[in-house]
Each structure stands twice: as C-alpha cells, then as structure tokens.
A = this chain, B = another copy of it.
Amino acid sequence: MKKVLFASTALIATASVAAAEVKFSGYGRFGISYQEDNSKSYEVTFTNQNTGQTLTTASGATITGVTTTTTTGKATVSDTVEETILVSRFRLNIDGIAETDGGVRFEARVRLQADDTNDGEAGEAGLNGARFSVIYGGLRVDAGNIAGAFDNLANYYGNEPGLENFIGQYSGVDYSFAGYSSTGAGVNGVFFQYAVGDFAFGASYDQGADTWTAPGGVLTKTDGRDRWDISATYTFSNITAAIAYGQTEAAPGGEKETLTVLTLGGEWGDFSGTLFVADDDVSSDALNGTAYGLSAAYNLGAATTLTFAYGDGSADDDTQQYGIGAIYDLGGGASLRGGIGQSKAGDGDSKLRADFGAQFNF
C-alpha cells in the first residue's frame, strides 16, 4: 500500500542551491497469479437505433472519406477470465526535495506506476496526484494526496503474504479511510504527525468533493463528506502499540461512519508478529461490527522469510482471509516471493488465490 522505498538516489550537483535534489526510487515485480473464479466487468459500446439519421454536407467542403453517424450506449457485462495470469507492477517515486538553512525539509512526490489489469493484460503507466511535505525534527505535515492516520498507522497492514500482498489482517474492515492513491488523484487533504520520545501522534483531514447527478432527470447536488482521523502510537522495548479513530460526515439522510483500530506489534529475534482489533460502523448493517486479525513473519535461515496473515470480522458480510507466503532474498534488493491463501466474503464461496514471482527495488 503505502510502503515507501528509498533504494536508490540520483546524485545531485547544484552550484547555488546546495540542498535541492530530485530523487528516484521504486520497484518492479512480475510473476504468475492464480485466482479461482477470476472475472472481469466489460463495458460494451453498442450502436443506437438512430442509424436513419443523416448529416448533410456543406457545399464546397473537400470531404474525401465516408461519413457515418452513430449514437452509442453502454452495457456492462461480467464475464469469467483466465484464472492463471501474468501479473506485474512498475513503480517509480519521483521526489523533489529542498532543505532550508534552518533545517526545514520540503518534499514533493509524484508516483509513476504501471499495473496489470487482472485479466492477463497490462495497462499503460500513469501518474498520480502530488503529495507535499514539510518535515522539521519530529514534526511532519503532508498536504495533497495524503495517507491519513490509519494508512500511516504502525502495524495496520502487518505482514501481507504473496507477491501481490493479497492477504491482510485488516480484511474485516469496511470503512473507507484517507489512503495514499498510487494511480489516481487521491484525496486533497492534510496530515499531521508528531513524534516525541517513545510516543507518536497523527491526524488527518480531507473534504469530499461535491458531486452533481441527475437521477430521473432531476439535477441534484450531493455535498462531499468531510473525513478526519487521529492516532497515537507508543513503543516500549520491542513492542509497539497503536490506536486510531476516524469518522466520516453523514451523507444526507444517512448517519456518520466511524472506525476504531487497535494494533500491537512485536519482534523477538527471528520472529515478529502483529495483532489487530477494530470496530467499524458503516452505512450497511451487514458490514458493521468487530474486525480482528493477526499476522506473523519468521526468518528461516539467512535468506528466507515465511509470512502468515489471518483476518476476519463479526458482521454477516465481512471478508475472511488467511494465507501464508515466502520471501527468498537474492541480494541487491531483489527477491523471489510467493503466497497462497483463501478469501471469502460473508457466506459466499471461498476462493483460492496464489502467486509467485520476483520483486526488485531500485
């Protein structure tokens, strides 16, 4: 999700501005994925029944081709696709950095990313929305395409098995918090973080965009829903405990939505683990309630790490996930990775997913 990689740095020489630089970092990964009952939605464009309509041509215009007139509509079709597909991601972080004489650090980031399209094909690379940061001592303020207090929370994601990190301890959470968007504009919000001694505090705020729709031909405005979250983190010896709370303004005629999360993470030699408990209150009663999970990682010798994660929730339609993974370090920032796991939404069928491939940081 928001894991930031700083494997490499372009050296910068500047005559007058000693502290400014542009830094590039990222990773590539590719491999094979198996996804049981894999499916895709297609948008089908069809020609409307007004083909009898004609366009007349202005006299004297030098039109050399055939003119055709079509009015198009859309139909959405959901269809099965290949279960075993080629998966890949290219990620490049572009960071512009400056540091003032007083030691205040400014950063701006845009991410360039290309992904497979989950059906055996891949898409073009795209650019996301920019994030701006001011950092001074233990204080950090982000603006723009931010990650909020949940997305930044210690041990929120825990260990996520698989090349594509497809199993997560947070699977029972149905609240939509402010997260860094790698492929779109993201939110335009503000995030604060302050670290002092063993404590760290975080908070974020973003306004939802107003939208206009015309259901039944009646123009209707829907106000964007404001959203905020706060967090506190405490580290004692080899244990880190973190708690966060967030809420989203009520939609018209609806009620506000909230999420509370508590995480614990620890490390003992070659073993590390996380515990996750949350309570979400969203608009659908079938998704409300407690979510819980855990994850673990174990270093098996010098180069191999085994990972495990389990996530579930008390609500009728919560998603349950569990699975294991392995990472084999090849050195130089490259590794072989794979995982296998089950995912099940409510009383639906359990679906197997597995993947294997290589990831390399640059």
A→B interface (CB under 8 Å): 7-14, 16-22, 24-30, 39, 41-42, 44-50, 53, 55-58, 61-82, 86, 88-90, 92, 94, 96-102, 104, 106-108, 110, 112, 114, 116, 119-130, 132, 134, 143-145, 184-186, 188-190, 207, 209-214, 217-221, 330-334, 358, 360-362
Contact = CB atoms under 8 A, between A and B. Distances in A.
A272 to B, nearest CB: 20
Contacts of A72: 71, 74
A21 B47 CA distance: 50
A296 to B, nearest CB: 25
A53 to B, nearest CB: 7
Contacts of A11: 10-13
A67 B165 CA distance: 32
A101 B209 CA distance: 49
Copies of this chain held together in the complex = 3
Chain A contact residues, majority secondary structure = strand
B92 A22 contact: yes
Given A64-B78, A97-B362, A330-B102, A110 B125 contact: yes
Given A57-B218, A63-B79, A144 B30 contact: yes
B129 A122 contact: yes
Nearest to A97: B362
A152 to B, nearest CB: 19
Contacts of A144: 30, 86, 88, 122
- Of all A-B residue pairs in the complex, the 8 with the closest CB atoms, nearest first, are A65-B78, A101-B331, A28-B108, A46-B214, A90-B130, A96-B362, A98-B360, A125-B127
A147 B11 CA distance: 31
B128 A125 contact: yes
A214 B45 CA distance: 7
